[in-house]
Chains A and B, each alone.
Chain A
Amino acid sequence: MQPVIRWFHQLGSPPTFDRFAARWAPIAYVLGLLVMAYGLYGALFVVPADYQQGDSFRILYIHVPSAWMSMAIFALMAVYAAIGLIWRIKLCEILAMACAPIGAAFTLITLATGSIWGKPMWGTWWDWDPRLTTELILLFLYLGVMGLYNAIDDRRAAARTAGFLSIVGVALLPVIHWSVTWWNSLHQGQTISLFGKSHMDPSMLPPLWAMVVGTHVWFIGSLLARARADNLKREAGKAWVLKMAGTE
């Protein structure tokens, strides 16, 4: 077997994953925080104020990356859940369930920052606008996945059931993404695009990309740390865990 494929297969075993996560989670945390610190410095001190919104627009450097993460994590959770359901890979079930609280936190940050920005700009904390409403539904879906996972005693059955809900919930993602296009929305349309031209001044973009990369890397660290904790909890009592804890 090829070394890369063999490494990938070995990663599915709980002890190997534990060592992998223990090594890479702190590195991802530090890297993510450094990149985010650079992005935040640029966002707060380097980038000029917007000609219409003044300094209020700077909250976008947190709002936009977390909004992207809130949707990307849901998709990733569904992919992990599907792999877990189809090939019965235990690690993928753990990873899928570890995605849910992180994604819920990003969704909450998105809603909170959007609301703080909305008060001076739109004159209201909240509006029943399609984009805002669908993002709120996404939060409820995250909470539903977490609630379902915690409500069933058998951990593997719980992960499969909650994972299936996340697969069903993926139907919401395109609705959130295109909600600003389909309906008349108070929320502005897409101004930043990965491919093609963004409708934003080039000088404002570098800190944003730094924040996007930073949140992704930080997410990897958080995912590994959470999955490691769940993995250890499930494997508690196995010889390798006892040996690691020094209680054998």
Chain B
Amino acid sequence: MMAAAAKALMLRDVRLLLRRRGDALQPALFALLVVVLFALALGAEPTTLAKVAPAVLWLAVLLAGLLALESLFRGDAEDGTLDQWMLAPVPLAWLVLTRTFMHWATSVLPLLIATPFLAELLHLPRVQLPVLLASLALGTPLLSLIGAVVAALTVGMRGSGILVALLALPLYVPVLVFGAGSVAAAAQGLDPNGALLLLGAGLVAALVLAPLAAAAALRIALS
């Protein structure tokens, strides 16, 4: 039953994505613009850019993910799908987890694929690229899971943009510190594994706890 529900939900999301293909590119486009703005503001000096590249790329991905957060439950809340989720015979947390995974796969995964190109724009040294990609691969699902809790809390509100940022960004800080920190450690020739392992541990904890918290928040917000 749980697998069938997840499959149906995934198929629906894939179908929605195929009907509106442009939507999946928007976060990547936004990240590209952030990178361009940073590069122009910093003066386009390759050595300067290479030094700040990990931080800028992490910020670009984080901000793009923050903007995409709004669409996580918005559509489902407006057409009443969320109410059906509450009545469904499968746990709400499971549906939230599936939806969050699909949202990550459709909005953040394209961003990860674009990251090597963005890194090239900022002259990131090639040796740091694997560490950056590993930290993003571990960090962005974690950001999505934390974001799901915040999105669930604010699901019933209109025009909640700045509030979502105020709620989510403080919770994002540790992920950013360890994510960007792992690449910075690699840049200094230190071992980035410690920070990556902490990100992995955070991801495992969030995989278990965040869907439960988001489900509880959805029940509160929609009751």
- Asked if A126 is at the interface of the complex by the 8 Å CB criterion, the answer is no
Contact assessment for B170 and A151 in the assembled complex, using a CB-CB cutoff below 8 Å: no
CA gap between A141 and B171 in the complex, in Å: 8
Q: Which of B49-57, B65-73, B111-119, B215-223 contacts A (4 or more CB under 8 A)?
A: B215-223
Q: A164-B217, A164-B220 are in contact. Are A137 and B170 (CB under 8 A)?
A: yes
- Asked if B195 is at the interface of the complex by the 8 Å CB criterion, the answer is no
Of the candidates B157, B213, B217, which one forms a contact with A152 in the assembled complex, judged by CB atoms under 8 Å apart?
B157
Q: Which of B15-23, B136-144, B148-156 contacts A (4 or more CB under 8 A)?
A: B148-156
Q: A85-B220, A140-B169 are in contact. Are A148 and B163 (CB under 8 A)?
A: yes
From B149, B157, B171, residue with most partner A Cβ within 10 Å: B171
- Asked if B42 is at the interface of the complex by the 8 Å CB criterion, the answer is no
**27 pairs, A vs B, C-beta closer than 8 Å:** A85-B220, A133-B173, A137-B170, A137-B173, A141-B170, A144-B163, A144-B166, A144-B170, A147-B163, A147-B167, A148-B154, A148-B167, A151-B154, A151-B157, A151-B160, A152-B156, A157-B156, A157-B220, A157-B223, A160-B220, A160-B223, A164-B153, A164-B216, A164-B220, A165-B153, A168-B213, A175-B174
Residues of A within 8 A of B160 (CB): 151
How many interface contacts (CB-CB < 8 Å) are there between A and B?
47
Q: How far is the CB of A71 from chain B (nearest CB, A)?
A: 15
Q: How far is the CB of B110 from chain A (nearest CB, A)?
A: 29
Sorted from nearest, which 3 A-B pairs have the closest CB atoms? A140-B170, A144-B167, A137-B170
Of the candidates B166, B173, B213, which one forms a contact with A143 in the assembled complex, judged by CB atoms under 8 Å apart?
B166
- Asked if A113 is at the interface of the complex by the 8 Å CB criterion, the answer is no
Q: A85-B220, A161-B220 are in contact. Are A151 and B173 (CB under 8 A)?
A: no
CA gap between A56 and B160 in the complex, in Å: 44
